[in-house]
Amino acid sequence: MTKTCPRCGNTFECMADNITRCHCASVILTEAQKNSISQKYNGCLCHKCLIALSDFSNQPSDRHVVEN
């Protein structure tokens, strides 16, 4: 089902009826982040906004930045 992200206004394909295929299942959010998002927005957010709102400092990363 196509939805509009309440944060950015972009449309996206929501797969909440098949959560294993839904983009939100791949974003790791703390309970505090989930609560904050649910208080600010009604409905599903697009993947890009979920990533922007997630805290990457608490997530493992396969990327390593090398500065010269």
**What pLDDT does 55 receive?**
67
> pLDDT category, 10, cuts 50, 70, 90?
very high
**What pLDDT does 25 receive?**
84
SS3 string, 2-68, reads: EEECCCCCCEEECCHHHHHHCHHHHCCCCHHHHHHHHHHCCCCCCHHHHHHHCCHHHCCCCCCCCCC
Question: pTM of this prediction?
Answer: 0.71
- pLDDT (tens digit per residue) in 42-64: 988 999 999 999 864 344 444 43
- pLDDT (tens digit per residue) in 15-25: 878 878 887 88
